């Protein structure tokens, strides 16, 4: 059985390349289970659509697997239908959030055969087994039960049983949903991603050429950056957010398991800088302390970035109402620095508490304020994001948000609200007529943070102008961002460098240690 995996490109032409962690895990797992396959690395090689179509003409496969986020729906639709045009008998399997959040849409607008939702490793292996042996993927339960969904105008899936975690098109052209797969509780059980399945040297050399994210204090050509996944899922359900493990419990790898992978990547590739590629790396003070203590004891001589809750060090009581002394929270921030963390991203999203409630963030803006102060005191660089354009948004709430950032000397990664399928904001947009044609809307959207839909009472142009005016004002305090880099994450690195100077953080010694250690333990081959 000939199998192809596809790694799509979200930003064709981007100078930055990132190894795909999710795909790395899936490919490694099925390889461990005895399957061989090819990889069409569109992102790594920046392949154009004409090359891709010719590839499908000339190379035939029994099974083709791909996945992406919802903002890439337009390309995904083109790719699936192009595959089927040239090799109609191949089984096309789609995963990630574009599959799991809009299966009803995909089955109507494309010729996809199977959708995987949730964790893909075990599910896709069992699916391969069934296809290889020509066994059925499942069966429809009788009497037939339709599974309701919010996307009106698209057919409901029919409840079935068989391989859990898949939705598939059967021989009668009916869409059968086998139900959710129970998540693997101990994610230490998954093997480390085998980056040799990719042209890993190409990725590493691209990182050395352009510099690594948040590694401004390294010489540009010395930051050997690797991604590492420490946790899956999120414990919260923000109304603007959809991720691939939406219905799965939050799970964190053990410190021992993470440390083992870091050591492996240091020895094999000379890696000295790590991006914790998680939705949420840390959200409780106790587990965070334990994890950081283990990293400190291991003395890995690395640097890394991560995502934390906006109240991890800013909230003075635990969920049971017990006080958390400021000294303990400050010590936690210091442990991040001691363990090698150079920046922690945590999201304010809005400085207005009523909008935060609408987002279901379960934080207050005051927590953010306190956390910034604590991190600054500890010497930890902070980054934050904003979501502008909730229905309750006004010019006054934007002023409130931006004023709080200005007072704290924080430049945000700002973006406009994009309603994503399977979120509260998606349902709001559908119910209130902001989205009337789902396929057209999904086809038109681009980057997640670009302006796509106005659900506020503010005029669209006023909303954009007021937001950009504030970002321009904040940028004037630093004077280092181009006008076309004010939105999204364009200002993170430069602003973080500004923070480092402001805090008088001296990483010369630790940086030297990290570079020397990497040179001793591993080399870029």
- CATH number, domain at 41? 3.40.50.280
In a domain, 111, yes or no: yes
In a domain, 24, yes or no: yes
Same domain, 61 and 205: no
Query: If 0-12 CB within 10 Å is exposed, 13-18 middle and 19+ buried, where does residue 459 land?
Result: exposed
Per the structure, how many domains does the chain have? Answer: 2
Q: Can you name the residues that pair with 381 across neighbouring β-strands?
A: 343
pLDDT-derived band at 207 (thresholds 50, 70, 90) equals: confident
Could you tell me what percent of the chain has a pLDDT over 90?
A: 70
Give CA 132 to chain center in angstroms: 32
Same domain, 231 and 139: no
Among 145, 177, 209, the domain boundary falls at 177
Same domain, 136 and 239: no
Same domain, 109 and 147: yes
In a domain, 443, yes or no: no
In a domain, 522, yes or no: no
- The tens digit of pLDDT for each residue in 441-494 reads 999 998 777 899 999 999 999 999 999 999 999 988 865 777 777 886 544 555
Same domain, 142 and 216: no
In a domain, 210, yes or no: yes
In a domain, 482, yes or no: no
Among 162, 177, 192, the domain boundary falls at 177
Chain-wide mean pLDDT for the chain?
Answer: 89
Spatial distance between the Cα atoms of 366 and 356, rounded to a whole number of angstroms? 12
pLDDT value, residue 506: 56
Same domain, 21 and 158: yes
Same domain, 510 and 367: yes
Average pLDDT over residues 384-402: 96
In a domain, 485, yes or no: no
Same domain, 367 and 279: yes
Among 143, 177, 211, the domain boundary falls at 177
pLDDT value, residue 49: 95
- Radius of gyration of the chain, Cα coordinates, nearest whole angstrom: 23
Phi, psi at 5, each rounded to 5°: -105, 145
Write out the residue range of the structural domain in which residue 377 sits: 201-385+504-516
Same domain, 145 and 220: no
Following DSSP, what letter does each residue of 37-70 receive, concatenated? -EEEEHHHHT--HHHHHHHHHH---SEEEEE--G
Same domain, 172 and 124: yes
- The tens digit of pLDDT for each residue in 68-110 reads 989 999 999 999 999 999 999 999 999 998 888 999 999 999 9
- The tens digit of pLDDT for each residue in 134-168 reads 999 999 999 999 998 889 889 899 999 999 999 99
Please enumerate in sequence order all residues whose Cβ is within 8 A of that of 96, keeping only pairs 6 or more positions apart, or say none.
22, 67, 68, 69, 244
In a domain, 476, yes or no: no
pLDDT value, residue 18: 87
Same domain, 205 and 155: no
Same domain, 211 and 340: yes
**CATH assignment at residue 214:** 3.20.20
């Amino acid at each position: 059985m000939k199998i192809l995996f596809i790694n799509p490109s979200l930003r064709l032409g981007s100078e930055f390349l990132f190894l795909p962690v999710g795909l790395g895990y899936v490919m490694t797992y099925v390889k461990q289970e005895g399957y061989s396959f090819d990889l069409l690395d569109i992102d790594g090689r920046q392949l154009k659509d004409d090359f891709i179509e010719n590839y499908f003409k000339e190379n035939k496969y029994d099974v083709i697997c791909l996945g992406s986020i919802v903002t890439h729906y337009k390309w995904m639709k083109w790719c699936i239908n192009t595959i089927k045009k040239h090799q109609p008998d191949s089984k096309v399997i789609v995963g990630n959030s574009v599959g799991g959040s809009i299966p009803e849409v995909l089955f109507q607008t494309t010729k996809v055969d199977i959708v995987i939702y949730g964790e893909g490793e075990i599910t896709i292996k069992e699916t391969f087994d069934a296809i290889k042996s020509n066994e059925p993927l499942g069966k429809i339960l009788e009497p037939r039960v339709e599974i309701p969904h919010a996307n009106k105008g698209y057919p409901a899936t029919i409840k079935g049983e068989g391989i859990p975690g898949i939705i598939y098109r059967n021989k009668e052209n009916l869409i059968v949903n086998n139900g959710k797969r129970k998540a693997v509780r101990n994610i230490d059980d998954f093997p480390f991603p085998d980056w040799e399945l990719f042209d890993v040297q190409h990725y590493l050399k691209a990182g050395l050429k352009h510099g690594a994210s948040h590694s401004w204090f390294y010489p540009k050509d010395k930051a050997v950056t690797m991604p590492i996944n420490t946790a899956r899922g999120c414990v919260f359900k923000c109304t603007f957010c959809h991720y691939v493990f939406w219905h799965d419990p939050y799970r964190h790898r053990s410190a021992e398991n993470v440390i083992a992978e870091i050591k492996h990547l240091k020895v094999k590739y000379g890696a000295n800088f790590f991006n914790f590629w998680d939705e949420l790396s840390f959200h409780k003070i106790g587990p965070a302390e334990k994890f950081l203590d283990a990293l400190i004891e291991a003395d890995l001589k690395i640097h890394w970035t991560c995502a934390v809750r906006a109240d991890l060090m800013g909230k003075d009581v635990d969920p049971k109402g017990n006080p958390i002394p400021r000294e303990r929270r400050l010590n936690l921030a210091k442990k991040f620095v001691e363990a090698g963390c150079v920046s922690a991203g945590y999201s304010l999203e809005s400085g207005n508490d009523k909008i935060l409630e609408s987002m279901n963030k379960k934080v207050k803006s005051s927590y953010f304020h306190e956390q910034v102060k604590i991190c600054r005191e500890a010497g930890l660089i902070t980054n934050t994001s904003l979501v502008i354009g909730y229905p309750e948004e006004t010019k006054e709430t934007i002023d409130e948000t931006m004023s709080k950032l200005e007072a704290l000397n924080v430049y945000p990664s700002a973006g406009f609200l994009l309603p994503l399928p399977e979120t509260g904001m998606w349902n709001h947009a559908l119910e209130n007529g902001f989205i009337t044609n789902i396929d057209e809307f999904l086809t038109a959207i681009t980057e997640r943070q670009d302006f796509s839909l106005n659900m506020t009472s503010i005029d669209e142009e006023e909303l954009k102008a007021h937001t950009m005016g504030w970002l321009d004002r904040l940028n004037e305090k630093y004077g280092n961002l181009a006008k076309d880099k004010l939105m999204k994450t364009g200002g993170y690195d430069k602003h973080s460098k500004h923070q480092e100077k402001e805090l008088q953080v001296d990483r010369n010694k630790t940086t030297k240690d990290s570079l020397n250690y990497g040179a001793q333990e591993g080399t870029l081959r």
